[in-house]
Amino acid sequence: MDDGAQVYLKEILSSLGFECYVLPFGDVPNLFARIGTGAPHLCYAGHTDVVPAGDPAQWDSPPFEPSIRGNEIYGRGASDMKGSVAAFISAADRFIKHSKSFQGSLSLLITGDEEEAAIDGTVKVLEWMKANGHIPNVALVGEPTNPEALGQEIKIGRRGSLTGTLKVRGTQGHVAYQDLADNPLPRLISLLKILTDYKFDTGTEFFAPTNLEVTTIDVGNVASNVIPQSGHAKFNIRFNDLWSAATLEAKLREILQAAACDYDLSCYSNAECFLTKPGEWTRIAQDAVEQVTKRRPALTTSGGTSDARFITQYAPVVECGAVNASIHQINEHANIDDLETLVEIYEVLLGEYFNNSIAL
């Protein structure tokens, strides 16, 4: 999990005047903190869990012992996304001290279940927030959104994700007596070819074309002289706003049905496509980034999934954070100057939002 990170965050946020709620669900630690009770209400969302470090011997310094070399801080989670969480709390501290009479509410939703199943984290906290009157007017997710430098991109949506498992059965037998067996693999290959050749769409205004990638083909056959009983393959589709998981699964079955071949298909999705349409909230975020970095960030929807897919069901959400060039890699790191700049961006954003009393 997060090895006590949220306990530390609770201490810091409590000292700044936030009312903190410890919200464990299952084995997952979660923290919600809020200062203020009125509107407008802005909520920052982040996570304290991290992906595995891989082989620690491959790191130049221990992955879970922060190390500063030059102007970079190294460690698992430095960029994804502990640096962003720290930057936002620093910005909130500055903003509160400089705007003690600000009208509205500022909160943080910090989960320990973003990198894994995402079942007992943000989803459950949002349900608790709704039940207890804490749903914000707008939300900001601090995921690292820039490929190379601050000011390049803000995420206003993400493609959906659907995983499919395709299985074809046959009859096992000896390769020398092929007439007594039924090899399922040519049919499996044929079905995969049909899927990979299919053009689902050409993209939309804010989204790239829907894309299917085969991720594994498995037979479990250790003998070269045996025709296997069955074979299965997995694929993942990242889909745009022309589809939902349900309509996409229906299209897959329609495509495969034309092959006139027996198969089993099962599909799973925990991420629908979503989009925060450009408007006042996205403009405020863009203006804040541009004011500090002198770059006007593009509004993009590329990349993998994030917890913004859950938040969008409750409030308009944008993602704005650090540079993502080293996330999930050996020697993950964050530039210290970038983190200081990110503090400035967040502080400007808070000022623009609250000082104009915009309840979007």
Q: Tell me the per-residue pLDDT of 183-202, one tens digit each, with 9 for 90 and over.
A: 999 999 999 999 999 999 99
Q: Strand pairing of 230-239 and 160-169?
A: antiparallel
- Token output for 113: 């279940």
So what's the pLDDT on residue 357? 54
Nearest to 347 by CA among 134, 106, 10, 149: 106
So what's the pLDDT on residue 358? 52
With DSSP H G I counted as helix, E B as strand and the rest as coil, what are the percentages for the chain, rounded to 5?
30, 25, 40
So what's the pLDDT on residue 340? 98
What is the pTM assigned to this prediction? 0.90
Reported as type and span, the H/E element at residue 7 is: helix 5-15
First to last CA, the chain: 34
Distance separating alpha carbons of residues 273 and 347, to the nearest angstrom: 30
Decide: 351 and 95 in contact? Cβ < 8 Å: yes
Catalytic residue annotation: 49, 114
Q: Strand pairing of 211-218 and 317-319?
A: unpaired
Distance separating alpha carbons of residues 270 and 245, to the nearest angstrom: 9
Distance separating alpha carbons of residues 22 and 112, to the nearest angstrom: 12
Determine the 3-state secondary structure of 268 from DSSP. strand
**Residue ranges in 132-278 assigned as alpha helix (H):** 185-197, 245-257
So what's the pLDDT on residue 102? 80
Entry field: residues in the chain:
360
**In a 10 Å sphere around its CB, with 0-12 CB exposed, 13-18 middle and 19+ buried, how is residue 136 labelled?**
buried
Name all domains of the chain by residue range, CATH numbers in brackets. 5-158+273-355 (3.40.630.10), 160-271 (3.30.70.360)
- Token output for 310: 């859950």
**In a 10 Å sphere around its CB, with 0-12 CB exposed, 13-18 middle and 19+ buried, how is residue 289 labelled?**
buried
So what's the pLDDT on residue 331? 97
So what's the pLDDT on residue 66? 93
Show the low-confidence residues of the chain (pLDDT under 70): 1, 357-360
